[in-house]
């Protein structure tokens, strides 16, 4: 079955050349503008999740999204701006907190899987989520990596999404960025994006590798549902906007469109190291509807791993889950009974179905002619058709 929304190839749009002048007044991002944000004041409890809700205006009447974080090495307010990484000099918008490996302030170049993405959520189907940033003119062109996770909390499964660059004036009106105005989506090098040629690190929208994907240098094991291909969205772009153009078949054929949180797809998880702050291992999933109140799968527990259960690895003597082969197999009644009696195995929602990891870049040049020379914004737009 093919996803009718997914094009056979990623559409290619070449961006207009950007009117950036290296010596002209230019913009540096200085802070997240929280004027319309209801900041969670804390206190915060370790390993609990929090959200700073974003509203349409400072009256805090209508919420349109939020920035979330799990209190650990990620900390309030959930977004930080890095200008001149202390290792490689790069710039980025990322989550706030500290590097869990050396306890220094988070930087763009911190190691893989050190919680670098800022977590943005869309929770209003009728209105885009607007994230505003303060800027200062300093005479240099800067390219920023947008280290972002985008979550669907609209309550509706989404066909697609879009992200736009622009400005919010004093009356709260959205003004789109225009070609050559010194604000644009670019590659990591600050050059125009050509989607058909873009490297993954320049622009990509991916579901968690733990669900879909072949092993690579960052992921030693394959994804649970598909051990060969990543789950993603096709993307197309213009200078000031990019949008998705259909979800990948491996996601669509199993679970349809982009699911909204709270996720109702349930898995059986094994806490292999018995540490509550580390990720548990997905051992099986409920093929059917999970009754949360009764704790029962109204359907069949299946596993996409090559065999059910666990084994002892002779190389290190550790108990491990079998590698996924991407083929669903019913879990035996005997193993289900063992799991029922095991305090370290329990069902839970597969929350990553609501989340996308986004890689994209923006470049800021001369801001003198912006409608708001001291600020710009991005809009996150949910789409149902």
With 80 as the cut, is the pLDDT of residue 12 above it? no
With 50 as the cut, is the pLDDT of residue 344 above it? yes
**In a shared domain, residues 203 and 276:** no
Burial of 346 (0-12, 13-18, 19+ CB in 10 A): middle
Structure confidence at residue 197 (pLDDT): 63
**In a shared domain, residues 220 and 85:** yes
CA distance 251 to 274: 30
Q: Is 303 part of a structural domain of the chain?
A: yes
**In a shared domain, residues 69 and 161:** yes
**In a shared domain, residues 143 and 180:** yes
Structure confidence at residue 248 (pLDDT): 97
Structure confidence at residue 201 (pLDDT): 74
Task: Quickly state the pLDDT bin for 3 (edges 50, 70, 90).
Answer: low
**In a shared domain, residues 243 and 274:** no
**In a shared domain, residues 240 and 283:** no
Q: Is 237 part of a structural domain of the chain?
A: yes
Structure confidence at residue 22 (pLDDT): 38
**In a shared domain, residues 338 and 359:** no
Domains in the chain, number: 2
Q: Is 9 part of a structural domain of the chain?
A: no
In terms of residues, how long is the chain?
385
Cβ neighbors of 143 (< 8 A, separation 6 or more) are 91, 186, 188, 189, 190, 361, 362, 363, 364
**In a shared domain, residues 247 and 292:** no
**In a shared domain, residues 79 and 67:** yes
Q: What's the domain range around 198?
A: 27-260+353-383
**In a shared domain, residues 181 and 325:** no
State how beta strands 118-122 and 142-152 pair. parallel
Alpha-carbon torsion angle 323, 6, 383, 194, nearest 10: 100
**In a shared domain, residues 208 and 97:** yes
With 60 as the cut, is the pLDDT of residue 144 above it? yes
Question: Tokens 């020379």 map to which residue?
Answer: 373
Q: Is 5 part of a structural domain of the chain?
A: no
**In a shared domain, residues 63 and 94:** yes
- Give percent of the chain above pLDDT 70: 92
């Amino acid at each position: 079955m093919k996803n009718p929304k997914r094009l056979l190839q990623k559409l290619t749009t070449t961006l207009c050349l950007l009117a950036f002048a290296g010596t002209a007044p230019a913009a540096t991002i200085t802070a997240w503008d929280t004027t319309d944000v209801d900041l969670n004041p804390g206190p915060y409890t370790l390993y609990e999740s929090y959200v700073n809700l974003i509203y349409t205006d400072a009256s805090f009447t209508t919420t349109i999204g939020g920035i979330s974080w799990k209190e650990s090495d990620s900390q309030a307010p959930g977004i930080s701006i890095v200008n001149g990484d202390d290792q490689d000099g790069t710039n980025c918008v990322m989550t706030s907190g500290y590097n869990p490996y050396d306890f220094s302030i988070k930087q763009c170049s911190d190691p893989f899987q050190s919680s670098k993405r800022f977590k943005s959520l869309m929770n209003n189907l009728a209105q885009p989520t607007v994230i505003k940033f303060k800027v200062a003119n300093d005479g240099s062109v800067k390219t920023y990596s947008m280290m972002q996770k985008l979550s669907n909390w609209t309550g509706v499964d989404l066909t697609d999404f879009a992200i736009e660059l622009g400005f919010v004036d004093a009356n709260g009106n959205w003004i789109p960025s225009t070609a050559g105005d010194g604000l644009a989506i670019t590659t990591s090098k600050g050059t125009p994006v050509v989607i058909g040629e873009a490297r993954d690190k320049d622009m990509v929208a991916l579901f968690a590798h733990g669900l879909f994907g072949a092993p690579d240098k960052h992921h030693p094991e394959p994804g649970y549902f598909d051990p060969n291909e990543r789950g993603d969205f096709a993307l197309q772009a213009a200078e000031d906007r990019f949008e998705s153009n259909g979800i990948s078949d491996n996601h669509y054929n199993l679970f349809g469109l982009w699911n909204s949180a709270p996720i109702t797809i349930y898995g059986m998880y094994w806490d292999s190291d018995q540490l509550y702050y580390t990720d548990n291992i997905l051992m099986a999933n409920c093929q059917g509807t999970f009754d949360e109140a009764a704790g029962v799968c109204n359907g069949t527990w299946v596993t996409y791993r090559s065999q059910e259960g666990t084994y002892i690895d002779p190389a290190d003597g550790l108990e491990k889950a079998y590698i996924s082969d991407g083929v669903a197999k019913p879990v035996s009644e005997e193993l289900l009974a063992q799991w029922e009696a095991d305090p370290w195995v329990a069902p839970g929602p597969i929350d990553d179905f609501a989340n996308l990891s986004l890689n994209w870049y923006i470049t800021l040049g001369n801001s003198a002619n912006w409608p708001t020379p001291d600020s710009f914004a991005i809009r996150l737009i949910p789409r149902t058709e």
